[in-house]
Amino acid sequence: MKLITVDTAASAHSPVSVLVIYTGGTFGMVYDRRLETLVPFNFEQILDRIPELARLRFSISVLVLDELLDSSNMQPEHWLHLSQIIAERYDQYDSFVIVHGTDTMAYTASALSFLFENLNKPVILTGAQLPIGAARTDAVENFITALEIAAARDEYNQPMVPEVAIYFHSLLLRGNRARKQESSQFNAFQSENYPLLAEAGVTIDYNRPYIRSYQSDQPFRVHQKLDSNVVILKIFPGISASVLHSILSIENLKGVVLETYGAGNAPTAPWFLEALQKATERGVILLNVSQCMGGKVMQGRYQTSKYLNDMGLVSGADLTSEAAVTKLMFLLGQYGDDIERIRKELSESLRGELS
């Protein structure tokens, strides 16, 4: 990995240092006239692309990963690698900004939020819908404001946002509450079930009651186990018994995020309920989340979800699918076959992912 020091207006004794971790994605692409295609740019030329960085009054270092990734290729092992990078440098830097592709950014933010226990420093993910080499790029504003948020301190000189968050198109969102909702507009991310942490206009306005509190007495801990033997199963009209059986019979399957209708409703056909019942009896954990962008699962409210409740499915309440699947991976990684503990903690808010 290559470490680059950015020449900013920070003094030699600047009180705040930010480490940027560049993973790849649309953000860092420029057009190569010779190849007639987009290629990753050299981050050592970041001041040429974003000269405004030179006016920032805190120190910035950039760590460029050896293997740059399109975020569509992001895997759990990459989340563990990112968490380890931050763990090894946690005492060296005050804040962290991760430049990441947008397609799986919400998954990465959710995963990191669970892997980091007692996090007391900002970890801000950002990226771009248009490459930094494009005339109308959104990369510059996203990057500069993410850096400023990462460096921000409150009246007690503590980090303003000591949690994993996503900054994109003027909005700061809790990482495990965010979802990508747009592929062609700049407002790529939203958080339907939790208020904004901050909004950037002429000033950056922080919604402080909704930002996680700084906990100075708790030691920072990084977990290093995830179990990816899980699937997301979206219920749809016409799903067949054979398809459902095939999915629930996957070898070594340990958990299923079941995306149901509305407030947690699903078919009540005997073959459907029997398939779920057999899966739970085999020790597969079924987590019920809504297909809707907003609202939550209210398991048992309607007859069509009462059967799921009686069967022992875990209500995901207002978990996003991204938070649900990464939380399931995390808890399976920590507790293995302790199904009751996993079920219990799925129903609890560990990192502010549940209301």
Q: 3-state DSSP call for residue 277?
A: helix
Pairing of strands 17-22, 179-180: unpaired
- Bridge partners, 126 (sequence order): 99
Helices assigned H by DSSP within 105-138: 105-115
Residue 232's contacts (CB-CB under 8 Å, 6 or more residues apart) are: 256, 257, 259, 321, 324, 325
Computed over its alpha carbons, how large is the radius of gyration of the chain? 21
**In the 8-state DSSP scheme, what is residue 161?**
-
Count the neighbouring beta carbons within 10 Å of the beta carbon of residue 130.
Answer: 15
Distance, in Å, from the CA atom of 293 to the CA atom of 11, rounded to the nearest integer, reads: 45
Please say whether the beta carbons of 111 and 323 come within 8 A: no
C-alpha 204/C-alpha 207 separation (Å) is 10
Contact status, residue 303 vs residue 232, Cβ threshold 8 Å: no
- Residue 91 CA to residue 94 CA, distance in Å, equals 7
Query: What span, in angstroms and rounded, lies between the C-alpha atoms of 8 and 151?
Result: 13
What is the 3-state secondary structure of 197-257? CEEECCCEEECHHHCCCCCCCCCCEECCCCCCCEEEEECCCCCCHHHHHHHHCCCCCCEEE
Pairwise CA distance, residues 347 & 314, whole Å? 7
What are the residue numbers of the active site?
26
Containing 95, the helix (H) or strand (E) segment is strand 95-99
Using CA atoms, how far apart are residues 343 and 332, in angstroms rounded to an integer?
Answer: 10
